[in-house]
Structure formats: C-alpha cells, structure tokens
C-alpha cells in the first residue's frame, strides 16, 4: 500500500515528537548529572551545562558503593530473568496447547493478582525468607523476583505460544518428528522473540524493583542500585541532586544496553518468515 | 505474581521451615541503622562506629545505611519479621505508632543520668508516650528565614535578631515593602502546608489540638491558630508580597528563584543552609533570620531526630550504652555539624563551633531554647487528619479558594470526625 508523501512526513513528525517526549527526562537527567552545584540552583537552567563537571560522578562513587550495588542488581535481575523464562516457557506451552479448566482459571487468577499491592505479601514473604535464612541474601531476593515475575511472564508467553500455528507442529509430526524434536526445532525458534521479550520484561522489573530489595536486604554490601540511590535523599525530600542524577544516569545504562542488544532479536524474530521470498 | 508469592509463602510455612534462632556466642553484635545521608553526616556516623568498635572488643556495632524516604515501611516489616536493627535512627513523629505497637524498648532506666539530664525536658516530651521513653531526641532544626542580605540592606528594613525578632504584622509589612515589579518579599514553600503552619503557629499561641480531661484530643481553631495562616494568606492574596507559584513547591524548588533575585526571603528548615552553601552563585550574600515571633515569642514546633532500641533486641543495655557513646557532647556536635542541624544536648549546644556567625549557626543556636514538641506529636489519627482534611483545606485557603471561616469549619468539623474514630 502506498502512502502519500504528506502523510509520511506527518508520521515521521509524530514519531519524532514521541521520541523527543520519551527522551526528555533522560536528557535532563544527563544534563543535571554533569552540572556543578551552582548551575543546579540557577533560575535559568540550560540544557547544556555551562561548566560541565565529573564532580557529581566522583562524589556519587565516593559516597556510595555504586559499582557493588550495580553488580548486585545485575546478578539479581539476570538470575531472575533467566529462571523466570526457563520456568515459564514449558508452563506456557502446556497452558496454551492443553487449555483445561484449571489452566483457564490460572490465567484469570494471574490477571486478578496484578491488582494486589506489594504490602499485602511483604510480611508473610519476609517471615518465610527469614525461616529459610534467606533474608539479607541476593538468592532470597532472586527467589522473590522470580515468583513476582512468573505469572506475568507466563501470561505473556501463553500469548506467544498461541500465535504459533499449531498446524506447523502437526506438519512436523506428520514428517516424523517426535514431540521433543518438534518443540526444539519448530516451536522454540518461533517463540524466540517472545522468550526474549519476556526475559527482558523480567530483567527490567527486577532491575528497577525497590521495595522488596529495601526490606529484604540489610547489609550495605548486598543492597541493590535502587536502594542505594535513595541514600542521596534526605528529610522532607531534600536531595543531593547532582550525585543523585549522576548515579541515576548510570543506573539506566544497563537497561538501555540490554534493550540495544536484544531489540534486533525481538524485531528480527517477529518478522522472520512473515514474507515469502 | 503476588498470588504466587502468597502460595509459596503458605507452602513454605506449612513445610515447617524454622530458624533455630540460637546465639553463637562470642562478642555481641549490634546493628545500627542510620538515616544519615549528607556526606559529612554519613562520615561522622561511620567514624563514631569505628571509634566504638576500636574500644569495645566485647560489643561490635555494624553500621547499616537506611533511607528517610521509606524508613517507616521498612522498619514496620522488620519489626513484624523480628529482624529489626538493634539501634534505630528515625524522627520523633514516626515513633508514636511504633511505641504504641510495642516495637520499641522503653529506655527508662537504660540511659545514664548524664544523658537524660543533658537533654531538656521539652525535647524528651517528643519521645515520651504514656509512661515510657521510646527514643533519645538528639538533632533538631528550627524553621528560619533565609534572606538575601544585599536586598535587605538596600531596602533599609530593620534586620531582626533572636533578641528582637519581627512580629508577624511587622513581617507582613516588610514583605510588602520588599515587593514589586515581579519581585516578592517572601516565597513560602508550602508543599507540606500542615506541619509548617502548625509548627510556626506555636509562636502566636496556636495549639489547635486540645486534650480534654478524658485524654481525648479535639481540634479547635482559635485566635492564636489564625495568626500564621492569615499572614500567609494575606501576603499571597491581598498584598501579593508572597509568590503564589511556590505554594505547591518544596524548599529546594524555591532556591533558584531566591538566588535569581526573585524573592527576598524563603522560610526553610535550618539544614537547608548546606544546599545554599553548595548552590548559591559566587558573591551571593545571604543570612539567616529568626522566624517572626508572636504572643509566645519565638516558640515553634519540631520533631527531632531520634535514636531508639528495638524491643526485640536481646542486647538492650549494650545498645543503650552505644547510644550514650554516640551522644556524648563532642560526638553530638560532630553529628550536628554533619547534618547542619542543632543538637538537643545542652553541653553540645554550648560548643563554640555552633556559635559562629558563619552560615547562620549563631542565629539557629539562639533559637534552640524556643523549640517545642510539634503540636501533633502524639495525636492519634493525625496522619489521616493531615492528609484528608488539613492539607487540602490549608492549600485552598492559601490559594484564596476558601476563606478563614471555611478553613476553620473544615479543620474542626471534618477533623474532629476523623480524630474521633481513633479515640473510641
């Protein structure tokens, strides 16, 4: 279908506007991170720092164990994402391909569970982890993140599995492939974009999560990045703005890097086979 | 996913997983959760912990970094789970719920006479609930006027001192004098209008909360309670000597306008001086003035920072000993300087380092004797009254949407309905 040049230009303009809208907070964060304290108090703030400084980064690293916290966050987020995907994929396959009454009820419950507040589970969860001696441990936190991400991951993956035509699996069976071979050679490659997207969702959720990490981790050496970021905030919301922005900017980088690496995989996978060559 | 967590929790509990909870002997280890956040303050706390550990081989203290933004939820969960830190840093207005819930140890008898007698009774009242004392108040900050010194000098107005402060009417006149051409005499950062108004109202004899013979609290908005809100309202809506745009702002948000010469004065907490020192343009001349005084002089309400001991701590005596060490006069001065606040201790307050004219320390120190417990300190239901009734009522009054009589009616009528539910 051909698009008129005027409409195309409008689409690009809208897309550009949307990108700018999305990017503004990030660009402002970047700007603040490089501004000296005196520029932060200016009545006429500028996008480009007049006297850019690395002082905020230096202070942020001096005051808080950011690298260690980032490592803890990365460990927790990657572990949670991998485990959630490994557990959710076969479950999603069964739920999609064998839609029993129980599976349908489970799907409904997953949707309803999204409305439950964090505080409802935190105390029982705290007690359980305490009994397991997993309070103040990154593995304990990973366990919570997996449990937290699993239903939504399952929900996402069920949709992806349903989108894979069952006829492909039937054709593979007719060609003599066993169930495992069909799953590995036919279904899994088609599911790859969904698995990556689900893993990404689990990763970002865990990477950004604050409340569980705050409550479950005590030792400073085990705290994750979102918890450490709050140490730049004082009473009545007063913030050490420069170092906070510097640390927050660094905290966004891993998410961006993961997106940059996998986004091609997602779009590539989604489009694979869409057009007959 | 929340459901999943609950199911796992239930299954694991049913499986009978238990902790042995045994003590492995050796030196006692205490966890001290500090909310220090400014660079110098964190360093002072860590240094003091190190000094303690170097001289007490039998009681080791682990420094745990907490956060002001979420301390209540985090502590509540820790208390419920029996994993609370032994020594807890918090603010006195957060302690009432924890004390009533039985989570904090009564420190009566645990603290040495040196410490109890060094801190004035008015400060102890902020941490006393019923017959027990549930925290040691150690740092506090008055609300002060941070002023553009050049502007004030140029205008020729009388500069107030703690000995001769402005009265509220004088303050109103002066802000009117300083205003004009898009410039304002004052910018009130009233994102949290209730505590600012109530605490400053003590100077004019405002009490708002009245405890009856039956122990029940009721709200009465009387003549003394009107002075501060009426002054702010008139500055904003009648005189136009207060910026209307900062009414919804926090203290930090007003600083660019202050540095940019848009406002002559900003009422701020004493500790904001640190941000001003960091952010003020070179050559910007500022000074600290006392808040205006009323019938009760310079009195104002505060909620001091506190140190408490968890009721579940098996080492309460050791924890109290550490608090005693941390709050020795010299150490209290280090903590106060690190946080840019005032110590509650009389000996610490006398330290010359806190009486320099530089950065307004002397003005703040002179206000210390006028500080009282915040009016709402031990009023049950205050949080709901503040959020549902008082905050919107004050915001509407200051913006000119409602008058004083409606403000009174809402604070009293709606407010007493809320408080009554907590006092049945």
Determine the residue of chain B that is closest to A112 in CA distance. Answer: B3
pLDDT at A176: 86
pTM over 0.90: no
The region of weakest confidence among A76-90, A150-164, B319-333 is: A150-164
Could you tell me if B74 and B199 lie in one domain?
no
Could you tell me if B259 and B176 lie in one domain?
yes
Could you tell me if B176 and B290 lie in one domain?
yes
Map residue B359 onto helix, strand or coil.
helix
Last residue within a domain, chosen from B326, B343, B360: B343
What value of ipTM does the predicted structure carry?
0.74
Q: Helix A66-97 crosses helix A55-63 at what angle (to 10 degrees)?
A: 80
CB of B29 within 8 Å of a chain A CB? The answer is no
Tell me whether residues A238 and B5 touch, CB distance under 8 A: no
pLDDT at B208: 95
Tell me whether residues A149 and B83 touch, CB distance under 8 A: no
Report d(CA A242, CA A249) in Å as an integer. Answer: 11
What are the tokens at A8?
């195309």
Give the residue from A126, A128, A129, A156 with the most B CB atoms within 10 Å of its CB, the best one to mutate: A128
Could you tell me if B114 and B166 lie in one domain?
no
pLDDT bin (cut points 50, 70, 90) of residue A7 is confident
* B6 assigned to some structural domain: no
Between residues B258 and B422, which one has the greater pLDDT?
B258
CB-based burial, A48-65: b 16+ in 10 Å, e otherwise: ebeeebeebbebbeebbb
End-to-end CA distance of chain B: 39
pLDDT at B22: 39
Residue A185's CB is within 10 A of a number of other CB atoms, namely: 11
Could you tell me if B71 and B156 lie in one domain?
no
Q: Helix A118-131 crosses helix B2-14 at what angle (to 10 degrees)?
A: 30
Tell me whether residues A218 and B83 touch, CB distance under 8 A: yes
Tell me whether residues A227 and B67 touch, CB distance under 8 A: yes
Average pLDDT over residues B319-346: 97
Determine the residue of chain B that is closest to A115 in CA distance. Answer: B2
pLDDT at residue B322 tops 90: yes
- What are B334-380's pLDDT values in tens digits? 999 999 999 999 999 999 999 999 999 999 999 999 999 998 877 88
pLDDT at residue B398 tops 90: yes
Please list every residue in chain A whose beta carbon sits closer than 8 Å to the beta carbon of residue B9: 121, 124-125, 127-128
What are the tokens at B55?
């001289």
Tell me whether residues B251 and A126 touch, CB distance under 8 A: no
Report d(CA A226, CA A229) in Å as an integer. Answer: 5
Report d(CA A239, CA A235) in Å as an integer. Answer: 8
CB B8 within 8 A of CB A148: no
Give the residue from A238, A244, A248 with the most B CB atoms within 10 Å of its CB, the best one to mutate: A238
CA distance B252 to chain A (A): 7
Average pLDDT over residues B324-334: 97
Could you tell me if B165 and B90 lie in one domain?
no
Strand-pairing partners, residue B184, are B263
pLDDT at B315: 96
Please list every residue in chain B whose beta carbon sits closer than 8 Å to the beta carbon of residue A38: 278-282
pLDDT at residue B19 tops 50: no
Report d(CA A84, CA A142) in Å as an integer. Answer: 10
Residue B252 φ/ψ, nearest 5 degrees: -65, -30
Report d(CA B369, CA B367) in Å as an integer. Answer: 6
pLDDT at B24: 54
Tell me whether residues B13 and A148 touch, CB distance under 8 A: no
Could you tell me if B269 and B327 lie in one domain?
no
pLDDT bin (cut points 50, 70, 90) of residue A145 is very high
C-alpha angle with apex A134: A150 to B67, nearest 5 degrees? Answer: 90
Percent of chain B's residues with pLDDT above 70: 94
Determine the residue of chain A that is closest to B262 in CA distance. Answer: A43
Tell me whether residues A126 and B77 touch, CB distance under 8 A: yes
CB of B108 within 8 Å of a chain A CB? The answer is no
A234 closest CB neighbour out of B68, B78, B80 = B68
Report d(CA B182, CA B157) in Å as an integer. Answer: 19
* B362 assigned to some structural domain: no
Give the residue from A113, A146, A232, A236 with the most B CB atoms within 10 Å of its CB, the best one to mutate: A236
B1 closest CB neighbour out of A44, A151, A210 = A151
The alpha helices in chain A, defined as continuous H runs, are 5-33, 37-40, 55-63, 66-97, 101-113, 118-131, 138-163, 166-174, 179-182, 188-208, 211-216, 225-229, 241-271
Give the residue from A43, A153, A157, A244 with the most B CB atoms within 10 Å of its CB, the best one to mutate: A43
Question: What radius of gyration do chain A's Cα atoms show?
Answer: 23
B12 closest CB neighbour out of A120, A132, A148 = A132
* B76 assigned to some structural domain: yes
Tell me whether residues A126 and B83 touch, CB distance under 8 A: yes
Please list every residue in chain A whose beta carbon sits closer than 8 Å to the beta carbon of residue B42: 63
Going by their DSSP bridges, the two strands B87-91 and B28-34 should be labelled as: parallel
pLDDT at A215: 87
Tell me whether residues B3 and A241 touch, CB distance under 8 A: no
Last residue within a domain, chosen from B325, B343, B361: B343
pLDDT bin (cut points 50, 70, 90) of residue A95 is confident
pLDDT at residue A251 tops 70: yes
B67 closest CB neighbour out of A45, A124, A230 = A230
* B117 assigned to some structural domain: yes
* B357 assigned to some structural domain: no
Q: What is the CATH number of the domain that holds B408?
A: 3.40.190.10
Residue A82's CB is within 10 A of a number of other CB atoms, namely: 15
pLDDT at B377: 78
Average pLDDT over residues B208-217: 91
CA distance A212 to chain B (A): 9
- Closest to B75 measured CA to CA, from B99, B53, B40, B57: B99
Tell me whether residues B13 and A124 touch, CB distance under 8 A: yes
Residue-averaged pLDDT of chain B: 91
Between residues B387 and A123, which one has the greater pLDDT?
B387
pLDDT at residue B2 tops 60: no
B19 closest CB neighbour out of A123, A133, A149 = A133
DSSP B70: G
Average pLDDT over residues B247-275: 94
Domain interval for residue B242 = 143-302+376-421
The region of weakest confidence among A205-214, B181-190, B396-405 is: A205-214
pLDDT bin (cut points 50, 70, 90) of residue A276 is very low
* B67 assigned to some structural domain: yes
The region of weakest confidence among A210-214, B88-92, B186-190, B391-395 is: A210-214
Q: Which residue has the tokens 């004030």?
A: B152
- What are B265-301's pLDDT values in tens digits? 999 999 999 999 989 998 999 999 999 999 999 999 9
pLDDT at residue B30 tops 80: yes
Between residues A259 and B256, which one has the greater pLDDT?
B256
CB B264 within 8 A of CB B175: yes
- What are A46-94's pLDDT values in tens digits? 899 999 999 999 999 988 889 999 999 999 999 999 999 999 998 888 8
- The number of domains in chain B is 2
Could you tell me if B312 and B278 lie in one domain?
no
CA distance B341 to chain A (A): 12
DSSP B289: E
What are the tokens at A223?
């705290």
Residue A13 C-alpha from the chain's centroid: 28
Tell me whether residues A237 and B70 touch, CB distance under 8 A: no
Average pLDDT over residues A232-255: 87
Could you tell me if B128 and B240 lie in one domain?
no
Tell me whether residues B3 and A218 touch, CB distance under 8 A: no
Within a 13 Å sphere around the CA of A191, how many CA atoms are in the beta-carbon half? Answer: 29
Could you tell me if B86 and B120 lie in one domain?
yes
* Beta-sheet strands, E only, within B297-402: 300-302, 305-309, 342-343, 371-373
CB of B15 within 8 Å of a chain A CB? The answer is no
* B370 assigned to some structural domain: no
* B2 assigned to some structural domain: no
pLDDT at residue B389 tops 80: yes
Tell me whether residues A211 and B73 touch, CB distance under 8 A: yes
CB A230 within 8 A of CB A64: no
pLDDT at A206: 93
CA distance A215 to chain B (A): 5
Could you tell me if B261 and B163 lie in one domain?
yes
CB of B260 within 8 Å of a chain A CB? The answer is yes
- What are A112-122's pLDDT values in tens digits? 777 777 777 78
Residue B363 C-alpha from the chain's centroid: 18
Could you tell me if B225 and B297 lie in one domain?
yes
Percent of chain B's residues with pLDDT above 90: 80
**DSSP-assigned states of every residue in B15-59:** TT---------SSEEEEEEE---SHHHHHHHHHHHHHHHHH-TTE
């Amino acid at each position: 279908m051909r698009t008129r040049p005027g409409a195309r230009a409008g689409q690009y303009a809208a897309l550009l506007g949307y990108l700018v809208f999305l990017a503004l907070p990030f660009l402002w964060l970047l700007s603040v991170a490089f501004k000296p304290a005196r520029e932060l108090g200016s009545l006429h703030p500028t996008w480009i720092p007049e006297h850019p400084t690395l002082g905020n980064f230096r202070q942020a690293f001096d005051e808080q164990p950011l690298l260690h916290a980032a490592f803890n966050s990365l460990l927790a987020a990657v572990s949670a994402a991998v485990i959630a995907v490994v557990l959710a994929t076969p479950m999603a396959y069964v739920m999609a391909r064998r839609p029993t009454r129980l599976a349908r009820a489970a799907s409904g419950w997953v949707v309803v569970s999204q409305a439950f507040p964090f505080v409802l589970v935190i105390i029982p969860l705290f007690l359980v982890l305490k009994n397991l001696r997993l309070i103040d441990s990154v593995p304990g936190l990973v366990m919570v993140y997996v449990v937290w991400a699993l239903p939504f991951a399952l929900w996402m993956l069920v949709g992806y599995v349903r989108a894979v035509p069952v006829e492909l699996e039937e054709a593979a069976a007719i060609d003599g492939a066993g169930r495992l071979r069909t799953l590995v050679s036919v279904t899994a490659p088609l599911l790859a974009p969904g698995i990556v997207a689900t893993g990404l969702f689990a990763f970002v959720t865990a990477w950004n999560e604050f409340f569980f990490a705050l409550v479950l981790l005590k030792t400073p050496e085990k705290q994750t990045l979102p918890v450490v970021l709050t140490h730049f905030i004082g009473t009545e919301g007063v913030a050490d703005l420069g170092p906070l922005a510097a640390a927050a900017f660094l905290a966004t980088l891993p998410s961006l890097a993961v997106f940059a690496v996998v986004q091609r995989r997602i779009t590539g996978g989604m489009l694979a086979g869409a057009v007959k060559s | 996913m929340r459901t999943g967590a609950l199911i796992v929790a239930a299954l694991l509990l049913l499986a009978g997983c238990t902790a042995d909870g045994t003590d492995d002997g050796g030196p006692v280890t205490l966890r001290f959760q500090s909310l220090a956040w400014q660079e110098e303050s964190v360093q002072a706390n860590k240094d003091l912990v190190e000094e303690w550990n170097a001289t007490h081989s039998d009681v080791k203290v682990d420094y745990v970094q907490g956060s002001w933004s979420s301390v209540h939820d985090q502590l509540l969960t820790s208390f419920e789970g029996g994993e609370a830190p032994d020594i807890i840093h918090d603010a006195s207005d957060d302690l009432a719920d924890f004390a009533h819930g039985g989570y904090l140890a009564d420190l009566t008898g645990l603290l040495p006479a040196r410490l109890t007698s060094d801190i004035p009774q008015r400060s102890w009242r902020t941490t006393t609930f019923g017959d027990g004392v549930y925290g040691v108040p150690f740092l506090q900050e008055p609300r002060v006027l941070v002023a553009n010194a050049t502007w004030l000098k140029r205008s020729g107005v009388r500069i107030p001192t703690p000995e001769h402060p402005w009265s509220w009417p004088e303050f109103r006149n002066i802000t009117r004098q300083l205003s004009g051409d898009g410039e304002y005499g004052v910018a009130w950062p009233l994102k949290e209008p209730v505590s600012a108004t109530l605490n400053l109202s003590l100077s004019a004899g405002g009490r708002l909360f009245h405890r009856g013979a039956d122990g029940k609290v009721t709200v009465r908005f009387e003549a003394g309670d009107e002075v501060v809100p009426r002054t702010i309202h008139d500055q904003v809506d009648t005189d136009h000597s207060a910026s209307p745009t900062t009414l919804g702002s926090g203290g930090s948000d007003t600083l660019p306008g202050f540095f940019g010469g848009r406002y002559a004065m900003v009422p701020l907490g004493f500790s904001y001086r640190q941000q001003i020192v960091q952010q003020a343009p070179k050559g910007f001349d500022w000074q600290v003035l006392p808040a205006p005084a009323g019938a009760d002089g310079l009195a104002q309400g505060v909620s001091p920072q506190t140190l408490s001991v968890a009721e579940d701590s098996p080492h309460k005596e050791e924890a109290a000993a550490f608090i005693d060490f941390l709050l020795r006069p010299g150490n209290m001065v280090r903590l106060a300087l690190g946080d840019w606040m005032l110590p509650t201790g009389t000996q610490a307050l006398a330290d010359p380092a806190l009486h320099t004219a530089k950065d307004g320390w002397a003005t703040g120190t002179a206000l210390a004797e006028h500080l009282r417990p915040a009016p709402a300190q031990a009023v049950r239901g205050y949080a709901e009254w503040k959020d549902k009734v008082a905050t919107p009522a004050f915001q509407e009054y200051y913006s000119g949407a409602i008058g004083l009589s409606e403000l009174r009616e809402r604070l009293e009528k709606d407010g007493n309905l809320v408080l009554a539910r907590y006092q049945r």
